[in-house]
Amino acid sequence: MSYDQARWAEDDQYEPLLSEKFNREVEVDAPLPDDLMRDSLELPAPSEPELARHYTRLSQMNYGVESGPFPLGSCTMKYNPKFTEDLAALPSASVHPDRDPDTVQGTLAVMGRLSAYLADIGGMDAVTLQPPAGAAGEYTGVLIAKAYHEANGEDRPEIVVPDSAHGTNFASAALAGFDVVELPSGEDGRVDPEALDAALSEDTAALMLTNPNTLGLFERKIETIAEMVHDAGGLLYYDGANLNALLGRARPGDMGFDIMHYNVHKTFATPHGGGGPGAGPVGVVEELAPFLPTPQVREVQDGAGEGDSTYELYDPEHSIGKVHGFSGNWLVLVKAMAYIARLGDEGLTDASAKAVLNANYLAEQIDYEIPFEPFHHEFVASAGEQDAAAVAKRMLDHGVHPPTTKWPEIVDEALMTEPTEVENKRTLDQLAAAFDAVAAEDEETLDAAPQRTTARYIDQVSAAREPRLSWQALGNEE
């Protein structure tokens, strides 16, 4: 397969900046004293047709899930169903956050229903929808752990995180004021109980774990791990980034996890939006429910029939307070609720089955070595003698989005690959052909890539050395 990305270019740049085409300076006037008012404002003022063309061209110079395969490991780049967009765009979904709960019963009903779905899917007892992203979910989770230990009169300053974990785990623990204890992976790529034993102590607040881990491997000794953490007085935190591997097959709550977050922009097919917004709801076991953020939604009475229940907001007794100014990324939550309702038990279970089948089938077709198995929804291949980052650039020329590269570090020149359930055999074969074509190519070809994308290879090092972060900064150079 081949692909030439659109390239709108003008002289020494691609599509000119809005400011270069449409900037207009206006004097500012308002009924304010002069010293409270700015003199002028200089912003682009395109007409609608000019604006539409600008953004359409920009969109053509961008690659989305519908453009082609997007096997970006750990990111779960699923197809985002269209109808969920329509629902989030309903005028009835757009309500002011300060409204009295009595006047937003519909919003609260959707939140209540989504919370119940997520609790069932994760095997948890209570769920907050407030965290606006996965990392915010982690932060919420570790705040809950902190509050729980404090309520028990314990000072536990450490969070244990495996070396193969997402960078956010470390950063979220640190943001909550914890010291991070890094847990080295065992030779089989999983948690080594001996190393865990050495890491745990009376200072341990929690162990954060992704299961299956970032190599796609299930932590077979999860029950032992849970027991060890609990015996040490700590809590077990589940990073939901890889939940798409387990839907309907296993639940974090049944494995002994006490707290978990869900990445709805991964598992539940809400769009990644070029970086966000996502949502990172957090589920907890009953003992931790009093620590959830404020406010929580609950059903107050069962009416005569379906849809007659009313909902109210309440503050959990020992709440950690707020992690978002309001109720998180509400419109994203609407989409997630609709996706789960569309799939139901059968669809969710099948989504995971097909995601795991696709990863295994793709792995079987490619020439790169895959050191760790059996993996589930994703695998980490090694580019061997090749530079994984260069492999990725060259894959762009073969019309596919490349895998996540150089991470986790436990695999040399890692190519972390997650095709998700949305590819069929034909597109997986095309993806495999792209892998194999690149595997057979020499260094020179790789170094010259990419050739067929909008931009050629971009020098990120010099961008960081002399940061130019605005059109004003570009203008000052001239």
Partner 1 sequence: MGGHNAGSPYAPHSPEETAAMLDAVGADDEADLFDIPESVRFDGEFGIPARDERTVRREVRELLDRNDKLVEFLGRGHYDHYVPSAVDHLADRQEFLTSYTQYQPEIAQGFLQALFEYQSMLVELTGLDIANCSLYDAATALGETATLAARVRESSGSHVLVPEHLRDGKRGVLENYADGVGLTVDSYPMDDGAADIDALEDAMAEDVVLVYAESPTVRGVIEESLAEIGVLADEHDALFCLGSDPVALSIIEKPAAVGADIVIGDAATLGLPAAYGMGLGMFATRESFLRQVPGRLVGASEDESGRRAYTLTLQTREQHIRRERATSNICTNQAWVALRRRDFGHPGARPRSPPLPGVRRADRPAGVGDRRGPPRRRVRHPRDRRPPATALRDRDQRRRDG
Using the minimum distance from each CB to partner 1, give the nearer residue, 335 or 441. Answer: 335
Question: What is the gyration radius of the CA atoms in the chain, in angstroms?
Answer: 25
Of the pair 178, 196, the CB lying nearest partner 1 is at 178
With CB under 8 A as the contact rule, the residue among 235, 259, 396, 410 that binds partner 1 is: 396
Residues in the chain: 478
Using rule CB under 8 A, residue 153 touches partner 1: no
Q: Which stretch binds partner 1 (CB under 8 A): 102-110, 202-210, 297-305, 378-386?
A: 102-110
C-alpha 383, offset from chain centre: 25
**Minimum CB distance to partner 1 smaller for 14 or for 201:** 14
Site for partner 1 in 163-182 (CB under 8 A): 166-168, 170-177, 180
Which of 401, 410, 441, 446: binder of partner 1 (CB under 8 A)?
401
Give the integer Cα–Cα distance in Å for 244 and 132.
19
Q: Check residue 58 for interaction with partner 1 (CB under 8 A).
A: yes
Q: Which of 207, 195, 208 has its CA nearest to residue 231?
A: 207
Contact flag: residue 254 with partner 1 (CB under 8 A): yes
Sign for the CA dihedral angle at 299, 300, 302, 303 comes to negative
Enter the tokens of residue 351.
């989504």
Pick from 239, 241, 240, 191: nearest CA to 219: 191
433 binds partner 1, rule: CB under 8 A: no
Q: How many angstroms separate the most distant Cα atoms in the chain?
A: 72
* 289 scored as a contact of partner 1 (CB under 8 A): no
Q: Binding partner 1 by CB under 8 A: which of 110, 124, 209, 225? A: 110
Nearest CB to partner 1, comparing residues 196 and 420: 420
Site size for partner 1 (CB under 8 A): 204
| DSSP character at residue 184 | P
The CB density around residue 137, as the number of other CB atoms within 10 Å, is 33
Contact 245, 375 (CB under 8 A): no
152 binds partner 1 (CB under 8 A): no
When asked if residue 474 is in the footprint of partner 1 (CB under 8 A), the reply is yes
Closer CB to partner 1, 232 or 354, in the complex: 354
- By CB under 8 A, is residue 115 in contact with partner 1? no
The residue among 168, 80, 2, 123 whose CA lies nearest residue 420 is: 80
Q: How far apart are CA 179 and CA 182, in angstroms?
A: 10
Report the residue from 4, 32, 193, 198 that binds partner 1 according to the rule CB under 8 A. 32
